[in-house]
Amino acid sequence: MEQHAQRLLGLLPVYSTLERTRDAIQIDLGGSEGVVLLVTGEALELRLPTIEWTRGAYGPAEASVLWKRVKNLEKLDDAQILDLVEAARAARLRQFIKCRFCGCPTPPEYRTHKDVCHRCAEENLGVVF
């Protein structure tokens, strides 16, 4: 796990955060428009960031959803790994849709309708959160 994480960190130009637990190392690339890499002893998981709406006083919680799991990371060369990271980033960016009212690109977790962000849903459609 440590070797795989060190290899990834050497390939990646910039990362937002790095967190280590007993069983995994998580590398966040680019915030909500980026990718989350989860390095375990068995695989590399490429994950897309999202928000879980917890209801109640705690508000939204950062989360991620699995996009692709790659076993045998040592069999991939550096270019293949970077291609996977870019493909995951492109998949995340495809999730963003411009709000029909304000025109801001908005991820699905911040939309109430296919093409309406939370703020515009409150202002224009009468949605109450």
Q: Identify whether residues 50 and 102 lie together within a single domain.
A: no
Q: Are residues 66 and 41 in the same domain?
A: yes
- pLDDT at 47 (0 to 100): 98
Same domain, yes or no: 70 and 41: yes
CATH code of the domain containing 7: 3.90.1150
Residue 53 and residue 103 in one domain:
no
What total of structural domains would you count in the chain?
2
Q: Which whole-number Å values give the CA distances from 111 to 3, 5, 7, 116, in the listed order?
A: 39, 34, 37, 5
Per-residue model confidence as pLDDT tens for the chain (129 residues): 889 999 999 998 777 789 999 999 999 998 899 999 999 999 999 999 999 887 766 778 899 999 999 999 999 999 999 999 999 999 999 999 999 999 999 999 999 999 999 999 999 999 987
Domain of residue 29: give its range: 2-95
Q: Do 81 and 102 lie in a common domain? A: no
